[in-house]
Structure formats: structure tokens, C-alpha cells
Structure 1
Amino acid sequence: MDDSTIQRISITKLVKDHPNLELIAEHNNAIKVKETLKNEDIDLIFLDIEMPIISGFDLLDNLEKQPQIIFITGKTQYAFKAFDYKAIDFLQKPVSAKRFDYAISKVLDFFKLRIEKERISDDNYIMIKSNFKNFKVFLDDIKYVQAFGDYVKVVTKEQTYTVLSTLKGFNERLPSDQFLRVHKSYIVNLSKIKKYESKNLWIKDIEIPISRNRKKELDFAMASIGIS
């Protein structure tokens, strides 16, 4: 948000050109911004401090939930106060593309760290041993588990781990509201299922068989998470 048309156009172009950003709205006053924040889920705003009627600081003081902030201003005297609002960065006009990209790199690092902390705090992972090494594997990353002789293969979005375990024993370590054994040789992450029929399901392009006596369980499980 910026009350200067030229500066607003410049920042808007930088946002639109950045592959990791999506522009939701642009405004020239704090009242419109406050209304947008009520109706949209906004992660980050670029905020000018010197605004007509209501300053950028006043706007933040009146928000129930504050998104992440990058302040933009022509005066460096506001920098110290800006960081009282836990701003990610403080950009001085005119903003160069190089300085803008640096600020966004800080934003991306912030959200990456926050997501990682949320995942860890939820204990949404299991520890597995593969090739004599211990790995922390997040449950949301597991696509499916396959029996493989005396081992199981744990297939995630990044790699496959080979673990000494029976499929039954590994299944007992997984939350039943997220994972289901659909065949004598397969456990699947329900949220990863792209589609399924009477005898097979697909996780992306991987086809996995469904045992006849497991089909009703799968129907029930998928319905419970809102998919049928």
C-alpha cells in the first residue's frame, strides 16, 4: 500500500514479476487495506508509513491480526520504530529490483522456518532407520508404504527409504486417520490419493491395488475426510 501512484506502480510491477509472490490487491489508503485484510487471507503487505488520514503505524495498531510487513518509505527516520512492529524489512524509496529481491528472500526464509517449526511442534513425524542411518520423516511427506520382503519401502515426495520392518508393524506406527492399509502389500496416505476405483487407486501416476475386503474401509476413510 502506497499513496504515491508512481511508487505503487513500481512496487506492483516488482511483485507481479516475482515468481514467489501473488498480488491480491493494491490500495492508496489504509481504510481500503483494512477492508481487504478482513476479507482476504494475506501473508505479506508492503506498507507505506506516511499515508493520508491514517498512517501505516496507525493501521497496524488497529488490526486484530497482523500479516508480515515490509515497510516502504522515503524517510529513514522511521526505521527504528518500524522494527517495533516486527517488520521483516524496511525499504527506502526508490526501491531497486535488487534490494526488493533481497527483502523477498528474507520473507521466504521466514515462512520456511515457520512452517518447519509448526511441523515439528505438531510432532507430525516419525523416526525411521534406513541404511544404518536415522531419519526424521514427516507424515505429510509420505505417499505410500510398500512391503518388500523382510523390509518396507517408505516412499516420500523426496526419496524412498528401505526400513527393516513388517508392513503390519509399520502400520501400527502411523495415525489411522491419515493412513490406511489397502492391500496386503500397501499402506497409503489418504490425502495423496488422486483417484480410486473398485480395484485400484492412484497416487499421482503410481497405480496401487486395493484388496476386495479393504474397499469398504477405503470408502469410509475417504468419506470421513470429505472425498468420495
Structure 2
Amino acid sequence: MAATARTPLAQQPPMGLRERKKLKTRIAIRKATYRLIAEQGYEATTVEQIAAAAEVSPSTVFRYFPAKEDIVLTDEYDPAMVAALRARPAGEAPIASLRAVLTEAVSSVAEHEPEELRLRTRLMTEVPALRARMTETLAETSQMLAAPIADRAGRESDDLEVRVFTAAVMGALRETMLYWAEGGQREDLVGLVDRTLDALERGLRL
């Protein structure tokens, strides 16, 4: 495993009052969703129930999350990861930069939202709609990360190699999350992310 400095994902610029209120609402909706799903299952949980539990209207839920799948799968880490990538040392290899940022993000979620992480990844293996939406969500994250990776490499964000590289990393991360969940979530997830990036960096050895 390559040694990396911890990326300060939490050290983001302070938000204004409006942004803080929006974030508070998003978090309340997600927490209500996780609680209801844990109690009664994904299919039985409706947007109306989620809205009532979060003390908002159903239209507010849909304003923040276009579909129920998005409530389970989206988080606030993408902008932080983009900022963290831009803050990595100049000249650092892209795979090393992504290793630092992704392992820090996974560590942060595992530390601060362990139950949500376990429920989310378990649902990914059990609910086909969530697995499909997860692929779309990771593709969107890949597009966001492509911009700072391209800047660091002196390329355009729609450069083929940049797109292939970032998509490969995020696709591999998807398989890692599924592998962890299918294995009963017993292994160290951060260690699995490191193994994943090792496989991408070194290739599959015979």
C-alpha cells in the first residue's frame, strides 16, 4: 500500500446560512429514510412517510432528491473530494491522488455514518433499482472528478484517457462496495479500497 497523506475533506470553506439550511434538510431527509428502511424495508417505505418523518412536505423531498433511490445513494462528499483532489501536491501521480482522496472519504463515512454505510451497501446488493442507480451516480461522480484530474495532467476534462481513467477507478470502487456487502461487511473497507487501487495500478498478476 502506498503511503499517502490524509486529505482534509472536512476542511471546506464555511457555508452561508442558506446553504447550511439546505444541508440540514438533506441530512434530515436521509436520516429519516434510513431509519424507516431499517424498520420496515426499502419497498415498504414511501416518500410520503419519509416526508412526515423528516417534517417536510413530499414536494420538498422531491426538490432535494428526484427519486427515492437518490435519497439512499447520494451524499455530500463529491464537492469535498473535488476540492481535496485540487489540493493534492503538484506532480503527484493521479492514481496516488485518488487513492488519498478516496480512502479518506471512505474512512470518514465509516467513522461518522457507519450504520448508514452498512445499510446503503446492503441495499445495493438487494434492490435492483438501487444497484442500477448506483452505476449512474458513480458515473456522475466520475465526471466531476475528471476535471481536477485533467487539470493536474494538463489535459481537457473530456480527454479520452482522463475519462477512461476516472471511470475505471469509480467502476472499480463500485465493485469494491458490492464485494464488501456481499461478504457480510466483515473486512476492512478502507483496506479493500487500497487493494482495489493496487489492482488498477499494477494489473492482475498471474
Larger relative contact order (Cα-Cα within 8 Å, sequence gap ≥ 6): 2
Task: Give the TM-score normalised by structure 2.
Answer: 0.24
Q: Which has the higher strand share?
A: 1
Q: Which has the larger radius of gyration?
A: 1
Q: Which has the higher helix share?
A: 2
